[in-house]
Structure 1
Amino acid sequence: MALAEILSIILRLAELAFAAVVAGLNGDFLHASRGASSWDLARHIYTEVVAGLSILFAIVWLFPFSGSFIHYPADFFLSILWFIAFGLLVDWLNGSCGYIFDWGEFSFRDTASCSQFKAVVAFAFLSAICWLVSAILGLYWTRRHTRTHHTTTTTAAPTYHRRRWYRSRV
C-alpha cells in the first residue's frame, strides 16, 4: 500500500498549501477591514479559523505513519467545514464580482478585490475536495486493514484482528 501512503502525503501537502493560501489572502482582507463589525466579518473569521485548523492538522498528519489513515472522521469533518466556508463566501459575494468561476478579469495588482475573493473561494473549494478525498482514502485503507481473515478449510485457522486505536491493553 505504498501508493496510498504516497497519495496521502500528496493530499496533506495540497491541504497545507491550499489552507495557507486561504489564510494569507483572507487574513489580508481581515487586516484591511480593521474597525468593521465582527458580525460583518463573521464569514471571513470563520474561514480563517478553518484555515488555521487545517494548517495545524495537515502539518501534524503529514508524517507518513499508518496511524495517519485512521483520522478519516476528522478529515471528513474538516471537509464539511471547508464546504461550509465555500458556501458562505459564495453567498457573501452574491454576484457582486460577476459569476463566481469567471476568471476573465483576474488580476494580482489589486488588494481586497474581486480577484482576491475569487481566489479565496476557489482555494476553499479545492481544500474541501482534498480533505474529502483524504477521508475516503483513509476509510478505504482502514477498512482494508481491519478485515477479518477467514479460511475455508476445516482446520481451526487463527483469526486476525487489528486492535482498535482507542482500546487499551488492560
Structure 2
Amino acid sequence: MILSRLLSFVFRGLEFVCAIIILGLGGHFIWRMNRDGPGPRGRLIYTEVVATFAALLSLIWLVPFTWTFLHYPMDIILSLAFFASFGALFDWIHINGLNCSGIFGVWNWDGNSHNNYCAEWKTLEAFTFMSGVFWLISAFLSIHVFHRVRGRNSPKAITAA
C-alpha cells in the first residue's frame, strides 16, 4: 500500500506540473492570437479549461490518502479529455497549412523560422499527450488499489480467514 501511495503522489505531481505547463503555453498562444490575428481559439480554450480542471483536481488529490483512489472514473474522463485536446491541437496545425517540418518542427524546408511557433506548438501538444498518459496511469493504479482493498474486505475473504 505504501508503494501505491508513493506512485499516486508521483503521478499526481506530474499531472499538476503538466497542467501548469499547458496553462502557460496555451495562455501564451491565446495572447499571441489576440495580438497577431486569427487562430485556433476554440481548441486552445478547450485545452485551457481541461488543464484548469486537471491542475485543481491533481492538487486536491495530491494528498496520499486511500479516498484519493476512489476517483478513478474522473481520472479516465480527464485522460480522454486530454487525448481529445491533443487530437484537436495536432489536427489544427495541418489544417492551417503551416508547415512545421524539419528538425523538431523549428525550421521549414524553405529556411524560414516561424518565430518558434512550431516548437512551442509541438511542446504544447507533447505536454497534452503526456498529461493524458499520466491521468490514464493514475486511473489504472486507482483501479488496482480500489479492487485490491475491496477484495480484502469482501465476505469471502473474511470467512476464509
TM-score category, normalised to shorter length: 0.7 to 0.9
Residues matched between the structures, number: 150
Unaligned runs of 5+ in 1: 152-156, 161-170
- Residue 4 of structure 1: aligned partner: 4
- Residue 138 of structure 2: aligned partner: 134
Tell me whether 1:48 sits opposite 2:48 in the alignment: yes
The one-letter amino acid of 1:124's match is T
Q: Shift in Å at residue 104 of structure 1?
A: 6.4
Q: Shift in Å at residue 30 of structure 1?
A: 0.3
The one-letter amino acid of 2:136's match is L
The one-letter amino acid of 1:47's match is T
Q: Shift in Å at residue 31 of structure 1?
A: 1.1
Cα distance in structure 1, aligned partners of 2:160 and 2:55: 40
- Residue 128 of structure 2: aligned partner: 124
Percent identity between matched residues is 34
Greater helix fraction, Structure 1 or Structure 2: 2
- Residue 69 of structure 2: aligned partner: 69
Cα distance in structure 1, aligned partners of 2:155 and 2:15: 35
Deviations along 1:76-133, one digit per CA (max 9) or x if unpaired, are 000000000000000011173127xx52648xxx866100000000000000000000
Cα distance in structure 1, aligned partners of 2:132 and 2:30: 22
How large is the Cα RMSD of the aligned pairs? Answer: 2.6
Length-normalised TM-score, structure 2: 0.83
Contact 1:20/1:55 (CA < 8 Å) preserved in 2? yes
Contact 1:28/1:112 (CA < 8 Å) preserved in 2? no
Length-normalised TM-score, structure 1: 0.79
Q: Shift in Å at residue 3 of structure 1?
A: 0.3
Q: Shift in Å at residue 32 of structure 1?
A: 1.6
Contact 2:105/2:118 (CA < 8 Å) preserved in 1? no
- Residue 79 of structure 2: aligned partner: 79
Cα distance in structure 2, aligned partners of 1:50 and 1:28: 16
Q: Shift in Å at residue 24 of structure 1?
A: 0.1
- Residue 97 of structure 1: aligned partner: 100
Deviations along 1:49-84, one digit per CA (max 9) or x if unpaired, are 111110000101001110000010000000000000
SS at 1:83's partner residue?
helix
